[in-house]
Amino acid sequence: MSTLVIKDLHVEVGEKEILKGIDLTIQTGEVHAIMGPNGNGKSTLLSAIMGHPKYRVTQGSIELDGQDVLAMSVDERSRAGLFLGMQYPQEIPGITNSDFLKAAMNARLEKPISLFQFIRALDKNIAELDMDENLAHRYLNEGFSGGEKKRNEILQMKLLQPRFALLDEIDSGLDVDALRVVSEAINSMRNDHFGCVMVSHYERLFELVPPTHVHVLIKGQVVMSGGYELIEKIDQEGYEWIKELGYELESQEERKPIILENCGRKDNSYHG
Amino acid sequence: MDNYVLSSSFYCVVYNGQCIKANLPEGVDFENHTICFQNQKPVEIQFVYLLDQNESMDINIVIKEHVEVQMIETKIFENHSHFQKKIYVQESAMLHIFSENDSSNEEDIYVKEEVFLQNDALCQCGYAELSDGCYDGKYHYYLQGEGAQAKVRMAVLSKKKESKHYEVFIQHCCPLTYGQMDNYGVVKDEGKLIIDGVGSITKGQHGSASHQTNKIMVFDEKCVAQANPYLYIDEYDVKASHAAAVGKMDEEHLYYLQSRGLTKKQAMHLITYGYLKPVIAVIDNKMIKERFETALSKVGA
């Protein structure tokens, strides 16, 4: 059994502090759901755990079975057993999906996987995820539809067998059938050696992959933790009730009506 | 001068302008610096061009009407050598070339290639320019018949103190012609690379299309890189596009690959490989592909 412990995590992007002291403990065998309005730090939390260079940890710690995750490079974190299923997977020209997948699998093996074993694993998972067979030979995510990209993330998760998967809005861009296929794939991985943190806005995903723990992230802090009942409440009532408990929500970016103003002024000076 | 590898059962080795070794298929002749293709069936053939220091050579290639040829070119040139080649692709002929430059010179080499295409002729060429040394290459294509098509793809590496300059030029001399070039470069160490992509459509060549992409990826601070697109168009009824970019490797691409466990070095190698690899798609020859992959290790990312 493995444990991922996050303590008092503060993270900045640019000059702005996004996470303001997150405490979270996840064990294998558990599935945690993180909910919260847009712009409150859910994706930042997952990216900071994976080590995206844009996110600067200013305080706190992340430990995986006692190992200091923050001291590891991104690839070391991956090989240590962390996986981030990204909200916007990158498109990389020239690299075929299968070359990439093989390189990723070999990165964590002492002896490279045989071509036969690799193809067998790949074919099996492609079939289970109901993916287009040609995806393996196409360039990495290039020209993939939104749903294909998300399935490709899940394919990687299945092939790499991480200890902890962080799934960032893995359900966005999926139609009903694809959502079912992806949910089944996540469920098939659930066991005592696999833990999962999911970020999503929709109850549907959590219905299909029921979490053991639910957290609400507001303004960079976990303001509430509980079980499935939290999801139901948010689904019915939104986040307004949280305000009533005394928490302020992070407002969306301010709107500046610059363009119209400028046009108006130009027009005035022309006539005046 | 014998450090070349033959990768095709038909071949012709030309040393300072003289044919020193050859196995030519039926319908292919080499006489007076001119190679003429009149083969009935499509052929694959390799040409090895060898040039000593200060030497020069002129080669003419004629592809007769309706003939199909897959050509592998291996160029091994020494300092201050001059190479000139003219290719005439006649009506409805099809020519695919994969051209590898295996020179390891210190000072300049000058290469000028001109390809003339008649009605409905097609020439598709992939240049793998991974040589060690300075280089000045001019690759000019003249679309002289209706329906003629030229598709050029180039993969260049300039490293150490190498200085390389390429000019890829496609001239549309007839209506309904198609020209496309995709020039990709990688510069590292103190290397210098200039790529000029030129597309020209003169008045009256309606229905033509000229497309180009020039991209250079820069690895180190002391690199010098320029990607210059030029489009000269004097006709309304045409399609044209160009793109040019010089920049570092995409950080998000690196992060994505690293997040799957690849080290930074492995990730950079894979990205560079993917960036230059499409050049071998013009020809279907396993040995060439393997050799190209080995040559790519020079990138050493």
Is the pLDDT at A245 greater than 70? The verdict is yes
Q: How far apart are CA A35 and CA A206, in angstroms?
A: 11
Residue B274 lies in a domain: no
Q: Cβ contact (<8 Å) for B257 and A93?
A: no
**Considering just the CA atoms, what is the radius of gyration of chain B in Å?**
19
CA distance B28 to B15: 19
Q: What is the pLDDT of residues B262-287, one digit of tens each?
A: 999 899 888 988 888 888 888 878 88
| A36 min Cα distance to partner chain B (Å) | 25
Q: Do B261 and A107 touch (CB under 8 A)?
A: yes
If we measure between CA atoms, which residue out of B93, B81, B258 comes closest to residue A107? B258
pLDDT at A272: 35
Minimal-distance CA residue of chain A relative to B252: A90
Q: Which residues of B touch A107 (CB under 8 A)?
A: 260-263, 266
Count other Cβ atoms within 10 Å, centred on residue A258: 8
Inside any domain, residue B261: no
Q: Are B195 and B183 in contact (CB under 8 A)?
A: yes
Residue B263 lies in a domain: no
B26 lies in a domain?
yes
Q: Per residue in A53-112, pLDDT tens?
A: 999 999 999 999 999 999 999 999 999 999 999 999 999 988 999 999 999 999 999 999
Q: What does chain B come to in residues? A: 301
Largest CA distance in chain B: 59
Say what the pLDDT of residue B295 is: 81
Max Cα separation, chain A? Answer: 78
Do the chains contact at A95 and B276, CB–CB below 8 Å? no
pLDDT above 50: residue A262: no
Confidence of residue B301 (pLDDT cuts 50, 70, 90): low
Instruction: Classify the phi-psi angles of B159: left when phi > 0, otherwise alpha if psi is within -120 to 50, otherwise beta.
Output: beta
Q: How far is B227 from chain A (nearest CA, A)?
A: 20
Instruction: Categorize the per-residue pLDDT at A246 as very low, low, confident or very high, splitting at 50, 70 and 90.
Output: confident
Q: What share of chain A is helix, strand, coil (3-state, %, to 5)?
A: 40, 25, 35
Minimum Cα–Cα distance from A94: chain B residue: B274
Mean per-residue pLDDT, A28-54: 95
To the nearest whole Å, the CA of B262 is away from the closest chain A CA by 6
Residue A138 has pLDDT above 70, yes or no: yes
Q: Do A78 and B253 touch (CB under 8 A)?
A: no
- Residues near B257 by beta carbon (within 8 Å), at least 6 away in sequence: A92, A100, A104, B266, B267, B270, B271
ipTM for the predicted complex comes to 0.90
Characterize the bridge pairing of strands A221-226 and A213-218: antiparallel
Determine the angle formed by the axes of helices A97-106 and A115-128, rounding to 10 degrees.
Answer: 120
Percentage of chain B with pLDDT > 70?
A: 99
- Residue B41 is assigned to a structural domain of this protein: yes
Range of the domain at B156: 11-249
User: pLDDT tens, A149-165?
Assistant: 999 999 999 999 999 99
pLDDT at A217 over 70: yes
Residue B260 has pLDDT above 50, yes or no: yes
Give the up-direction half-sphere exposure of residue B141: CA atoms within 13 A in the CB hemisphere: 33
Q: Name the nearest CA neighbour of B216 among B182, B241, B242.
A: B182
Give residue-wise pLDDT tens across range B208-258. Answer: 999 999 999 999 999 999 999 999 999 999 999 998 999 998 999 999 999
CB A29 within 8 A of CB A191: yes
Kindly report the nearest CA distance between residue B213 and chain A, in angstroms.
14
Compute the nearest-CA separation of B82 from chain A (Å): 34
Tokens found for residue B205: 């060549």
Which chain A residues have a beta carbon less than 8 Å from that of B258? 73-75, 78
Q: Which of B258, B270, B276 sits opposite A74 (nearest CB)?
A: B258
Query: Rounded to whole angstroms, how far apart are CA atoms A242 and A259?
Result: 35
Q: What is the pLDDT of residues B32-53, one digit of tens each?
A: 899 999 999 999 999 999 999 9
What is the rounded CA–CA span in Å between residue B112 and residue B83?
Answer: 6
CB A60 within 8 A of CB A17: no
Contact at CB, B261 and A52, closer than 8 angstroms: no
Q: How far apart are the CA of B258 and the nearest CA of chain A, in angstroms?
A: 5
Note the pLDDT tens digit of each residue in B120-132: 999 999 999 999 9
What pLDDT is recorded for position A270?
A: 43
Structure confidence at residue A261 (pLDDT): 46
Chain B residues interacting with chain A (CB cutoff of 8 angstroms): 250-253, 255-264, 266-267, 270-271, 273-278
User: What tens digit of pLDDT does each residue of B50-88 get?
Assistant: 999 999 999 999 999 999 999 999 999 999 999 999 999
User: Domain-by-domain residue ranges, chain A?
Assistant: 3-92+160-271
Is residue A3 scored above 90 in pLDDT? yes
CATH 2.40.50.140 fits A3-92+160-271, yes or no: no
Predicted local confidence at residue A251, as pLDDT = 62
Closest CB to B262 among A77, A84, A103: A103
Instruction: Say which of B250, B251, B263 has its CB closest to residue A53.
Output: B251
- Half-sphere CA count of B178, side-chain side, radius 13 A: 9
CA pair distance B45, B97, nearest whole angstrom: 10
Mutate to test the interface with A, among B255, B266, B296 (most CBs of A within 10 A): B255
Helices in chain A by DSSP H: which ranges? Answer: 42-50, 74-80, 97-106, 115-128, 146-160, 176-189, 203-208, 228-237, 240-244, 258-271
Residue of A nearest to B265 (CA): A75
> Higher model confidence: residue A70 or residue A201?
A70
Number of domains observed in the structure of chain B: 1
| Residues pairing with B69 in the sheet | B43, B95
